[in-house]
Amino acid sequence: MIEYLPRSKQHTELYLTQYGCENCIPGHYHGPAIRSHYLLHYILDGEGFFEVGGTRHTLRKGQGFLICPDVITYYEASKTSPWTYCWFGFDGTIAESLLKQAGLTMDSPILHYDQDDRIYRYFTSMNESRGYHKARETRLTGLLYSLLSLLVEFGPALPTSEHKESRAEIYVEKVKDFVETNFAQKITVEDIAQFIGLNRSYLCSLFQQQMNTSIQDYLIRYRIHKACEMMGHAELTIGDISRSVGYPDPLLFSKIFKKIMGSSPKLYRSEARKL
């Protein structure tokens, strides 16, 4: 069986395009062909082979293969012990990143997972989600996230240098997300470090290396950037804007604003209205 799904307008970061399951006949094949999205096959029983980039991979139960967008692939079931597999088609802005964390890339497309039957259970749960109406798209997206999180958890360890780089980028994104979510509150660098769970000095050093600026400076400039955006709301006073970006003291806000923008908040607003 196979079900095709419409492109998600709600979950653009990650969404399912299709899923299915097939008990293949001996020698059943597909390709050579290309796909416009990611397609992950997981072998439930039997054997077959997968070809990509001139390399043939012989695969069996507990293994699988990833087809990447716009890549020519070919796969064929064994003539003596044909495979049965389920598959998941998906795409989205973070799909490649999640797959990379799971150790699955165009150059490393083979999946190894023989811990239990959870991958097949995700498939059956997707099929059972037909009973959902208003929330089915969200349900399917949640199951896809669960599937990929399983592959990340049990995937191969990344090389040390790549792992460090990846973790550094993740921590920096966490800092940025925290600032963007909580800039209106009276937060400190220590608050950010505690939230992320890292030593303050280490986090500051890591952020400086990645962003070429300090966390404190990033926070200040983000607040002033948001304040500039609020200047267009005529109903807001300078004091209102000051409080809205985390500065309960308007005088301190004005001092920092002038240092960053080169003019006072009042003058900046006046000049902006002339444009």
- Average pLDDT for residues 36-61, to the nearest whole number? 96
**Span 143-182, pLDDT tens digits:** 999 999 999 999 887 665 555 557 888 899 999 999 999 9
- Average pLDDT for residues 36-47, to the nearest whole number? 96
pLDDT band at 8 (very low <50, low <70, confident <90, very high): confident
pTM above the 0.75 mark?
no
Residues 56 and 73: their CA atoms lie apart, in Å, by: 10
At residue 6, the pLDDT reads: 80
**Span 75-108, pLDDT tens digits:** 999 999 999 999 999 999 899 999 999 999 999 9
Q: Are 77 and 25 in contact (CB under 8 A)?
A: yes
Q: Tell me the CB-side half-sphere exposure of residue 274, using CA atoms within 13 A.
A: 6
Residues 50 and 56: their CA atoms lie apart, in Å, by: 6
Percent of the chain with pLDDT over 70: 96
Q: Which domains does the chain have, with CATH numbers?
A: 2-154 (2.60.120.280), 159-275 (1.10.10.60)
At residue 159, the pLDDT reads: 60
